[in-house]
């Protein structure tokens, strides 16, 4: 797993996101640690989690002018969001956790909140082309809990309406440190639930990508045998005849790792849609009969691997990560 590129999760929003990294009880990172543990255990892929959340920052500028920079999304990214997008130019998953500060204002316009959150999600999709996981608002013991529930329903509505937004962790029923912020046990629960939600979104959906039934290594060739649709696409174009795959910078959705030599770089790759086979050709002598090989196949937009280099069916991928691993034995000549 150490040879695989990590999946990058960027956490945005306010204090319940920020608290995954620096909690309010012991200044610990129990939430991030729980998220990382759940994700890596479920996906078997390394993960990098970046903190881009800011405490006390509502979505709507008019309710706290000095600290509200997310909300200018109706026209352009607000100052805070623009700085986050500049500092984090790539993301495979955005975890959004926000709403508690907006809920404290007695005159909150829920229609404004819904429009701003929708525009923000659309901006994130345009920027990253990735999945957005929305954690649901936590309770406020010192505010209007009816408003909290109304914001919760808006978040659920957008997760239902926008195909790239999925439901995340339930932040309402966790142990609290003060009137709004969870204690370490609460953040650990939010982190674990967030990891489980991301895994469910990434792995627990109907397969719209080709599946690999077996991988065989012989001499200097590793062959991936695919199953799935009869109509194939690459770089957004339908493929009807055998072609060479030329990934940018050596990146590919098909990876072979040797316990002896690490990640192996092929000298050529080919795909035949009629036989549903992908061939990775290596230099003579690279594959040894004694090698223990693992073959990995990525489906979807995974880490720096660009979506346009993926072999898919003719529908567009809309999930960020699905990896299958195969143990491969090098067959004797």
We report the CATH number of the domain holding residue 141 as 3.40.50.1110
In a domain, 1, yes or no: no
Count other C-beta atoms under 10 Å from residue 1's C-beta.
Answer: 14
Band of pLDDT at residue 66, cut at 50, 70 and 90 = low
Which tokens go with 238? 């339908």
Band of pLDDT at residue 284, cut at 50, 70 and 90 = confident
Segment 246-250 long-range contacts (CB within 8 Å, at least 24 positions apart): 247/309, 248/306, 248/309
Band of pLDDT at residue 76, cut at 50, 70 and 90 = low
Instruction: Compare 4 and 19 and report the one with higher pLDDT.
Output: 19
**CA–CA distance, 38 with 78 (Å, rounded to integer):** 32
In a domain, 324, yes or no: yes
Looking at the structure, do residues 199 and 234 belong to the same domain, yes or no?
no
Looking at the structure, do residues 159 and 278 belong to the same domain, yes or no?
no
- Judge whether residue 166 has pLDDT over 50: yes
**CA–CA distance, 260 with 103 (Å, rounded to integer):** 56
The partner residues of 293 in beta bridges, in order of sequence, read 258, 328
- Judge whether residue 151 has pLDDT over 80: yes
Looking at the structure, do residues 33 and 174 belong to the same domain, yes or no?
yes
210-223 tens-digit pLDDT:
678 889 998 889 99
**CA–CA distance, 76 with 114 (Å, rounded to integer):** 16
Looking at the structure, do residues 187 and 280 belong to the same domain, yes or no?
no
What DSSP letter does each residue of 145-201 carry, written as one string? HHHHHHHHHHHHHHHHH-TTEEEEEE-SSS-BSSSS-B-HHHHHHHHHHHHHHHHHH
Chain mean position to CA 6: 11
Looking at the structure, do residues 195 and 314 belong to the same domain, yes or no?
no
In a domain, 178, yes or no: yes
Looking at the structure, do residues 244 and 296 belong to the same domain, yes or no?
yes
In a domain, 252, yes or no: yes
Looking at the structure, do residues 51 and 110 belong to the same domain, yes or no?
yes
Question: Phi and psi dihedrals of 105, rounded to 5?
Answer: -85, 125
Looking at the structure, do residues 38 and 169 belong to the same domain, yes or no?
yes
236-260 tens-digit pLDDT:
678 889 999 887 666 778 888 888 8
In a domain, 266, yes or no: yes
Q: Span 269-280, mean pLDDT?
A: 92
In a domain, 11, yes or no: yes
Burial class (CB in 10 A: 0-12, 13-18, 19+), 55: middle
- Judge whether residue 320 has pLDDT over 60: no
Tokens 């316009």 locate to 109
Looking at the structure, do residues 233 and 256 belong to the same domain, yes or no?
yes
Structural domain for 304, as ranges:
211-331
141-150 tens-digit pLDDT:
876 788 899 9
Q: Report how many domains make up the chain.
A: 2
Band of pLDDT at residue 283, cut at 50, 70 and 90 = confident
Instruction: Compare 33 and 2 and report the one with higher pLDDT.
Output: 33
Looking at the structure, do residues 257 and 327 belong to the same domain, yes or no?
yes
**CA–CA distance, 20 with 132 (Å, rounded to integer):** 17
Looking at the structure, do residues 108 and 239 belong to the same domain, yes or no?
no
Mean of the per-residue pLDDT values for the chain? 83
Looking at the structure, do residues 241 and 188 belong to the same domain, yes or no?
no
Residue 232: give its domain's CATH number.
Answer: 2.60.40.1220
In a domain, 227, yes or no: yes
- Judge whether residue 97 has pLDDT over 90: yes
The domain boundary, picked from 179, 203, 227, lies at: 203
The domain boundary, picked from 203, 231, 248, lies at: 203
Given CA atoms 61, 67, 70, 72 in this order, what sign does their dihedral have?
positive
In a domain, 166, yes or no: yes
The domain boundary, picked from 203, 223, 242, lies at: 203
């Amino acid at each position: 797993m150490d040879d695989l590129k990590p999946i990058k999760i960027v956490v945005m929003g306010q204090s319940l996101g920020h608290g995954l990294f620096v909690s309010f009880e012991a200044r610990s990172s129990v939430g991030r640690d729980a998220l990382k543990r759940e994700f890596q255990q479920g996906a078997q892929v390394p993960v990098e989690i970046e903190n881009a959340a800011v405490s006390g920052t509502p979505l709507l500028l008019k309710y706290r002018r000095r600290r509200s920079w997310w909300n200018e999304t109706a026209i352009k990214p607000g100052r805070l969001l623009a700085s986050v997008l500049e500092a984090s130019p790539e993301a495979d998953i955005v975890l959004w956790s926000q709403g508690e500060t907006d809920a404290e204002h007695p005159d909150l316009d829920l229609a404004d909140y819904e429009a701003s959150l929708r525009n923000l999600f659309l901006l994130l999709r345009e920027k990253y082309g990735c999945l957005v996981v929305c954690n649901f608002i936590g309770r406020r013991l010192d505010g209007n809990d009816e408003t909290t529930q109304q914001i919760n329903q808006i978040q659920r509505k957008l997760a239902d309406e926008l195909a790239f937004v999925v439901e995340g962790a339930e932040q309402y029923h966790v142990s609290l440190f003060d009137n709004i912020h969870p204690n370490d046990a609460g953040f650990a629960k939010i982190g674990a639930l967030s990891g489980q939600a991301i895994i469910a979104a990434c792995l627990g959906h109907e397969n719209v990508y080709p599946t690999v039934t077996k991988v065989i290594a012989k001499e200097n060739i590793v062959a991936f045998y695919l199953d799935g649709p009869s109509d194939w696409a690459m770089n957004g174009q339908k493929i009807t005849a055998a072609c060479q795959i030329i990934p940018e910078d050596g990146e590919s959705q098909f990876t072979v790792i040797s316990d002896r030599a690490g990640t192996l770089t092929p000298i050529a790759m080919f795909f035949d849609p009629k036989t549903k086979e992908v061939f990775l050709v290596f230099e003579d002598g690279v594959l040894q009969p004694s090698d223990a090989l693992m073959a990995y196949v990525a489906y979807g937009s995974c880490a720096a691997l660009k979506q346009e280099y993926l072999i898919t069916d003719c529908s567009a991928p809309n999930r960020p990560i699905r990896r299958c691993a195969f143990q491969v034995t090098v067959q004797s000549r």
